[in-house]
């Protein structure tokens, strides 16, 4: 079963890339920010990075809608900063995430996929109305590493966001364009094919 896939799709034109230095220094408020938390790893206490989500420009959205897909549930710019690790979690607004990394946040930043001992790979904790209840493990000690990938910049990837995942090894801020999909999305079904978990 594949938890990620590289996609052969056109790169975002340079002129449509947000001016990140301007964005981050201009005081524009993110549309969403995470809350601080920690997780234990043996005796170690691991800090969670900050995660801010910004709206994208109309021009970039139009380009994505036209050249990539308009079938997403949500779209935004994600900015991880302030710590080397974005702790293990499942996404709370989407089943499948499509990523285009602008700034990797370091030379060896890994997206790691985890399985909680005794639990299925896919987080099932959603109610019948499809309200998400994200899984945020408070310790690494009952997680098994099942896969990892170092996402390069300026390349489209799709990830299965219902599997517990983390981002590790950041030495700088990490910025990406993210599109979220439900698992029933025709686009997600098309990309993952019959491997798309039901
Ligand atoms: Fe995530």
The CA 174 to ligand 1 mean position distance, Å, reads 13
Residues with CB under 5 A from ligand 1 (ion): 91
> Which pTM was predicted?
0.92
Structural domain boundaries in the chain? 4-9+36-192
Q: By three-state DSSP, how is residue 192 classified?
A: helix
pLDDT of 24-34, one tens digit each?
898 889 999 99
The CA 126 to ligand 1 mean position distance, Å, reads 16
The CA 159 to ligand 1 mean position distance, Å, reads 9
The CA 161 to ligand 1 mean position distance, Å, reads 6
pLDDT of 188-198, one tens digit each?
887 776 554 44
Are 84 and 125 spatial neighbours (Cβ–Cβ below 8 Å)?
no
- pLDDT-derived band at 187 (thresholds 50, 70, 90) equals confident
Fold category of 4-9+36-192 in CATH: Jelly Rolls (2.60.120)
Q: Considering only CA atoms, give the Rg of the chain.
A: 16
Predicted local confidence at residue 128, as pLDDT: 47
- Per the structure block, which two tokens stand in for 172? 């700088």
Are 48 and 83 spatial neighbours (Cβ–Cβ below 8 Å)?
yes
Predicted local confidence at residue 24, as pLDDT: 87
Predicted local confidence at residue 198, as pLDDT: 45
User: Which one is predicted more confidently, 187 or 154?
Assistant: 154
The CA 90 to ligand 1 mean position distance, Å, reads 6
The CA 166 to ligand 1 mean position distance, Å, reads 7
Predicted local confidence at residue 133, as pLDDT: 63
């Amino acid at each position: 079963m594949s938890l990620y896939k590289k996609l052969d799709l056109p790169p975002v034109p340079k002129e449509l890339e947000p001016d990140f230095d301007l964005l981050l220094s201009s005081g524009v408020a993110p549309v969403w920010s995470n809350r601080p938390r920690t997780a234990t790893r043996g005796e170690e206490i691991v800090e969670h990075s900050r995660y801010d989500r910004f709206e994208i420009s109309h021009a970039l959205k139009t380009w994505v809608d036209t050249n990539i897909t308009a079938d997403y549930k949500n779209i935004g710019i994600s900015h991880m900063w302030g710590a080397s690790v974005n702790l293990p979690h499942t996404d709370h607004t989407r089943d499948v995430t499509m990523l285009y990394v602008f700034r990797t946040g370091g030379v060896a930043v890994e997206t790691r996929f985890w399985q909680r001992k005794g639990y299925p790979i896919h987080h099932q904790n959603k109610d019948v109305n499809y309200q998400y209840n994200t899984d945020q493990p408070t310790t690494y000690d009952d997680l098994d590493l099942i896969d990892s990938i170092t996402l390069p910049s300026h390349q489209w990837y799709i990830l299965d966001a219902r599997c517990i995942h983390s981002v590790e090894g950041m030495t700088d801020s990490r910025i990406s364009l993210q599109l979220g999909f439900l698992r029933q999305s025709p686009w997600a079904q098309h990309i993952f094919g019959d491997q798309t978990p039901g």
